[in-house]
A = this chain, B = another copy of it.
Amino acid sequence: MNACSVRLQIFLQLQAVNKELCSKFESCLGASPSRIEILHYLLQHEEVTQSALQGEVNIDAAAVTRHLKQLEAAGTIVRYKKANDQRATWVKLEEEAKRHIQQSFHEKSQFVDETLAGFSDAELEQFLQMLSKVSENVSLVTKKQLGGENHEPNV
């Protein structure tokens, strides 16, 4: 409750909020945020390769593979290769699932709205900008490498 004060609190709060958000999200909507992100992307793109998808939603290729395998098994998507490149696998929503998801997205947006209730449009805009700013800063930190002297296992 002292020292690093506000900044540290923000850091911690960000973690906390995110965790709560994920948890409620999942329990209210029956799918993890990651999965929703994937479906959301597929809803808007018709046909896409795994690697492209993986570039958009920010998760590991391995995780994408696993999600997609499950979604395929559940009949939500189809995966296939094309003649010109046998490496890439393409992904597409099943028509039936598509409709289903669109419906379900309506409910999702309600959820999102509620978590951001009480913000004016201006505030929302500002909030988004702040988040983007942080995101940018984070990538910069990476580049600067941040003198890594002390790398013992359990600090």
Listed in ascending order, the chain A residues whose CB lies under 8 Å from chain B are 1-4, 6-22, 24, 28-31, 33, 35-37, 39, 44, 58, 70-71, 74, 76, 100-101, 103-104, 107, 109-119, 121, 123-128, 130-135, 137-142, 144, 146-148, 150-155
Q: Which 7 residue pairs spanning A and B have beta carbons closest together?
A: A74-B154, A18-B18, A13-B131, A4-B109, A104-B155, A20-B138, A115-B137
Question: What chain B residues lie within 8 Å of A2 (beta carbons)?
Answer: 44
Contacts of A70 on B, CB cut-off 8 Å? Answer: 154
Q: Pick the contact of A8 from B109, B126, B132 — CB < 8 Å?
A: B109
Per assembly, the copies of the chain total 2
Name the CB-closest residue of B to A43.
B3
Cβ contacts A to B, 14 pairs, < 8 Å: A10-B128, A14-B14, A14-B18, A21-B134, A24-B138, A28-B146, A30-B150, A30-B151, A70-B154, A71-B154, A104-B155, A114-B141, A114-B144, A116-B134
- Taking a contact as CB atoms closer than 8 A, the residue among B103, B114, B140, B150 that contacts A107 in the complex is B150
Taking a contact as CB atoms under 8 Å apart, the answer to whether B100 and A115 are in contact is no
Contact A148 B28 (CB under 8 A): yes
Chain B residues whose CB sits within 8 angstroms of the CB of A137 once the complex forms: 114-118
- CA of A101 to CA of B62, assembled, Å: 34
| Residues of B close to A154: CB separation below 8 A | 31, 35, 70-71, 74, 76
Q: Which residue of chain B has its CB nearest to the CB of A121?
A: B6
A154 to B98, CA, bound (A): 12
Q: Is A135's CB under 8 angstroms from B31's CB?
A: no
